Amino acid sequence: MNEKKLVQNFKSYINVPPVNNGDKNGAVPDVKPKLLNGEQVVGAAQSVVMLTPLSERDRGRFGSLFVTNYKLSFVPLESPYNDEYCQRNNLLGPYDVPLTAVGAIWLTDGGPVRRRKLMPFGDMPAKIKGIQIICKNMKVLTFSFANSAIGKGRQVAMALIHHSFPKRHDLLFAYEYRERYHPTLPSDLNMFQRPNDWKRELESQVQDSQYYSMLDSSRWLRYVANCIAFADDAARYLANNVTVVLQEGDGVDYCAVVSSLTQLLVDPHFRTISGFQSLIQKEWIALGHPFCDRFGLPRPGCTRDISAKENISMQRAPIFLLFLDCTWQLLNQFPSYFQFTETYLTTLWDCVHNHLFDTFLFNCPRDRELAISKDFVERPVWDWGEQFMDQDMALFYNPLYLGNKPSTSTPNQRLSTISIPSKPTSELPRLKPCTSIAGMELWSQCYERWLLPLDALHAGPVQYHVYNYSVLKDIQQLNEKLSSLSFINNRHSSNGDDGNEPSRVVVSRFHPFSLSRSEDVTRTLDLMQHTHRQLKNNKNTIGIFKPPKRFAIWFND
């Protein structure tokens, strides 16, 4: 080979390694790439500089550049320890790029600025000073051939443009790689290559596919998304000081859902536990949502007979439960903006059907007043201490809640302290939820907690909740000690227990609604069918409360 001799008076502005004093030509050590079985070098250039990305032109690494029938490989003369900015790979070195990952090749003047694209069937210049490789994973490699032998840059470019864009599929290196393959695939990985693979998939899916198919056919998540979308529209107009009027038939079903969700989006007070309970009392209890009719209960003062059963069944619809699901979706999207947790919502879901309490027992306030006049004892569900211990109620409070100081102001006080200009210059703050059905998720804790095989340890949001709650407790204790002078005086005599990591309490996915479980419980079709029947029943009832044509939102400036 005709190697280019270094001119003694030539001054290079690119970093060059020390010249070997024993070689008049300043030859560099011979380096070679690591080759796989069947891999061959088709082009090479020595004394190549790989320029450092986003750096000055004279910064780079000195080495040799190779093109094989599999990859572009740069082998540096010196490779400092841990100086590899890539994922470790057994088949590729830190400066290797498979040819199929090359997206475009650019000719440069030896630097990263001036360049023109090299086309597969275009003309190749006689002298190439440098090339830039744009990879399909957005990695950029720039090489300079200023110190390489004459013609070596052109040889590398020709080999690269030829092998990076093959004309036939059988020219890919996969056809040349003859290394014997020893499978280490997981035993449960289905490759779908044989008829038995598909049979096994169909057998494992009489249950999962049916489950989600029935969920989709119930259209439950579609109704949830629609309600949130209506509320988002209303909240957007309210945030711009536009009056919103909800109109719907009797005004006791969807108006209550949309109005409640809208207030959750625009008013942080209703995202606290006390505020949320007040919201339900206002929009659902005081304004007369017909809980008896919607939950299939007999009306006060009426006797249920055969003729009345049909009328009651026609009015059954889980409107309030739909609202709770919508609230959970908002909580799931904005986990630090609500004081309560999904455990609180699931508990409230259960209490709706616990008719020991009067909260969800009447159609209207008049029915409640008539019952009270006959010595009926009011027992609101909001008095949680009647049902739960302190440690159980602790699961109702979100440790990640940003506004962890409850508001002590009344709704009137809050409204009077908010200055709303007649012509707002900017939108007032509000939550902006995802309203697409694709953004809705299945409320697993509520709907799947009875499916024992799905109840796993170290899983679910509640595990994080319990741990975060213990961290919050430790932070509060440290704050109390920091505010005390005795803590400063006794810090040197401390035994060091204060710095211990909070203990990790292991809970299951659906805690505290978990059943007693054993680790060897297998999945049973009966449990899945139980949920299927529930979804089927929901489908039958949900179809009754489709949004009426008369339901609309009016926006008035």
Rounded Cα gap, residues 50 and 56, in angstroms: 12
Identify whether the C-beta of residue 110 lies closer than 8 Å to the C-beta of residue 130. Answer: yes
Which strands sit side by side in the sheet containing 96-98, from one edge to the other? 96-98, 71-76, 60-68, 41-51, 140-144, 130-135, 102-108, 115-118
Identify whether the C-beta of residue 355 lies closer than 8 Å to the C-beta of residue 292. Answer: no
Identify whether the C-beta of residue 197 lies closer than 8 Å to the C-beta of residue 517. Answer: no
Which residues contact residue 451 at a Cβ distance below 8 angstroms, ignoring those fewer than 6 apart? Answer: 527, 528, 531
Residue positions counted in the chain: 557
Residue spans in the chain of domains classed CATH 2.30.29.30: 41-175
Structure tokens given for 342:
């999904």
Q: Within 10 Å of residue 453's Cβ, how many Cβ atoms?
A: 13
Question: One-letter amino acid identity for 335?
Answer: P
Whether the per-residue pLDDT at 197 is higher than 70: the answer is: yes
- Residue 274 burial (CB < 10 Å; 0-12/13-18/19+)? middle
Q: Please write the tens of the pLDDT for every residue from 321-375.
A: 999 999 999 999 999 999 999 989 999 988 888 878 889 989 998 998 888 888 8
Residue 69, pLDDT score: 95
Share of the chain above pLDDT 70, in %: 68
Higher-pLDDT residue of 138, 514 = 138
Whether the per-residue pLDDT at 91 is higher than 60: the answer is: yes
Identify whether the C-beta of residue 61 lies closer than 8 Å to the C-beta of residue 82. Answer: no
Residue 355, pLDDT score: 79
Structure tokens given for 341:
């947790």
Q: Within 10 Å of residue 8's Cβ, how many Cβ atoms?
A: 6
Q: Please write the tens of the pLDDT for every residue from 383-411.
A: 888 888 887 888 888 888 887 443 444 44
Rounded Cα gap, residues 26 and 293, in angstroms: 95
Q: Considering the chain, what is the average pLDDT of its residues?
A: 76
Rounded Cα gap, residues 320 and 331, in angstroms: 17
Calculate mean pLDDT across residues 265-291: 91
Structure tokens given for 508:
């299951």
Q: Please write the tens of the pLDDT for every residue from 233-265.
A: 999 999 998 999 988 876 678 899 999 999 999
Strand 140-144, strand 41-51: pairing: antiparallel
Residue 481, pLDDT score: 76
- Band (pLDDT 50/70/90 cuts) for residue 312 is low
Q: Please write the tens of the pLDDT for every residue from 2-27.
A: 444 444 444 444 444 444 443 445 55
Give pTM, 2 decimals: 0.54
Q: Please write the tens of the pLDDT for every residue from 201-227.
A: 666 556 667 777 887 888 999 999 999
Higher-pLDDT residue of 410, 434 = 434
Residue 533, pLDDT score: 44
Rounded Cα gap, residues 387 and 41, in angstroms: 77
Rounded Cα gap, residues 546 and 17, in angstroms: 77
Rounded Cα gap, residues 169 and 161, in angstroms: 16
Q: Please write the tens of the pLDDT for every residue from 507-546.
A: 666 777 765 443 333 333 343 344 444 444 444 444 344 4
Work out the angle between the directed axes of helices 220-239 and 195-218 (0-180°, nearest 10): 50
Of all helices (H) and strands (E), which one includes residue 221?
helix 220-239
Calculate mean pLDDT across residues 436-445: 90
Which CATH class name applies to 41-175? mainly beta
Residue 102, pLDDT score: 92
Higher-pLDDT residue of 404, 147 = 147
Higher-pLDDT residue of 507, 89 = 89
- Band (pLDDT 50/70/90 cuts) for residue 417 is very low
- Residue 305 burial (CB < 10 Å; 0-12/13-18/19+)? exposed
What is the number of alpha carbons within 13 Å of residue 373 lying toward its C-beta? 8
Helix (H, G, I), strand (E, B) or coil at 423: coil
Residue 404, pLDDT score: 45
352 DSSP assignment: H
Identify whether the C-beta of residue 40 lies closer than 8 Å to the C-beta of residue 68. Answer: yes
Whether the per-residue pLDDT at 157 is higher than 80: the answer is: yes
Q: Please write the tens of the pLDDT for every residue from 50-61.
A: 998 766 555 788
Whether the per-residue pLDDT at 451 is higher than 80: the answer is: no
